[in-house]
Structure 1
Amino acid sequence: MHNGTHSATKSEALQGRKWWVVDVADAPVGRAASQVATLLKGKHKPSYTPSMDVGDFVVVLNAEKVRFTGKKETEKLYFTHTMHPGGAKLTPPHKLRARHPDAIFLNAVKRMLPRSALGRDMMRKLKVYAGSEHPHAAQKPEKRALSL
C-alpha cells in the first residue's frame, strides 16, 4: 500500500464522464463561467489530475440571457485583432450578443481554461445554446444548479 498522490489514467478519465445541463439565465457571466470551467476541468472530482482531461460534458442553456454586473454591459469591450496594421477591433457586448448570442459565455469559459491542446479538448465537451432547447436528451444529462 502506498500513500502517494493518485494520478488518473486515460481509461479512468474516459470512464467516469457525466453530462450536466446548466441554465445560466440571469446569472452573472463570470460566476457562471467559472463553475462551468470547473466541471469541464474535472476539479469537482476526487480523480482530478491537472495534466489529464478528467472533466464532464456540460450543456449550457439560455446563454443569451446571461448578464453582467455593474457597468460592464455598456463599458466593456471585446478586443480582437486581424494581425494587419491598424487591425484592432473593439466590440461592445450588445453588438456581440446581437450577432452571436452564445459568444459572450463561450469567450468567458474559454479564457478560464488552459491555452493548450488540453484546453481545446475541454472546450469540445462544452455545448452552448442561446435558447432553452438542446439535442442532447439521448445522453441523459443531469440538471446542475449554479451556486451564485
Structure 2
Amino acid sequence: MDITKTAKISEIKRDWVVLDAKDKTFGRLITEVATILRGKHKPCYTPNVDCGDFVIIINATEVKFSGMKLEDKEYFTHSGYFGSTKSKTLKEMLDKSPEKLYHLAVRGMLPKTKLGRAMIKKLKVYKGSEHPHTAQTTKSK
C-alpha cells in the first residue's frame, strides 16, 4: 500500500524564478506567479505547507492589458474616516507603484491566512530589467 508523502518544512528546496513581464498579459502572468509562490508546480505540493519558490518580476511596467482596462479599471483605498475614499486608475498605479499593483493582484489568489502572508513575501517586483538578486542562482521562465 502506497502512502501519500507530505512535504516537511526542512525538506523543501526553494528556487529563485525570474519572470520577464515585457509584452505578457497581466492576468496570465499573475496566475503563473501565484502558482509558483504556492508551490503547485512541484510534485511535493502540500496545501498546509509553504513549499513555493521565490519569484522576481522584471520590466513590471511593460506588461499588456486587454481592452480599456488602463483607463476604466479603478483601485479604491479607504482610511476608515468618513469621506476618505480615494481611487486611482490602473494606469496611475502602473506608473506610480507597479509593486503595489502586482502585490494586490497576487494576494487575491493566495490563501488569506498566515501561510498566504508568508508566500507573498517571496514576491519581488522591479520596474526595470535590473534586480539586486544576482547572487542567487535564478531560473528564467
Tell me, yes or no, whether TM beats 0.5.
yes
How far is the alpha carbon of 1:141 from its aligned partner? Answer: 0.3
SS at structure 2 position matched to 1:120:
helix
Query: Match for 1:62 among 59, 64, 70?
Result: 59
User: What's 2:8 paired with?
Assistant: 9
Say what the alpha-carbon RMSD is for the aligned residues. 1.3
Q: Deviations over 1:49-68 (max 9, x none)?
A: 11110000111101111121
Q: Is the 8 A contact 1:61 1:132 kept in 2?
A: yes
Q: TM-score, normalised by structure 2?
A: 0.93
Query: Match for 2:115 among 111, 115, 118?
Result: 118
How far is the alpha carbon of 1:114 from its aligned partner? Answer: 1.3
CA distance in 1: counterparts of 2:20 and 2:43, whole angstroms: 25
How far is the alpha carbon of 1:101 from its aligned partner? Answer: 3.0
Matching of residues 85-104 of structure 1 within 5 Å: 85-104=82-101
What percent of counterpart residues are identical?
A: 45
Q: Is the 8 A contact 1:66 1:105 kept in 2?
A: no
Query: Match for 1:108 among 105, 110, 126?
Result: 105
Aligned structure 1 segments of 4 or more residues deviating by more than 6 angstroms = none
CA distance in 1: counterparts of 2:48 and 2:86, whole angstroms: 34
Q: Is the 8 A contact 1:42 1:55 kept in 2?
A: yes
Q: Is the 8 A contact 1:48 1:54 kept in 2?
A: yes
Q: Which runs of 5+ in 1 are unaligned?
A: none
CA distance in 2: counterparts of 1:108 and 1:142, whole angstroms: 23
Deviates more, 1:85-94 or 1:95-104: 95-104
2:107 maps to 1:142: no
CA distance in 2: counterparts of 1:59 and 1:23, whole angstroms: 8
Q: TM-score, normalised by structure 1?
A: 0.89
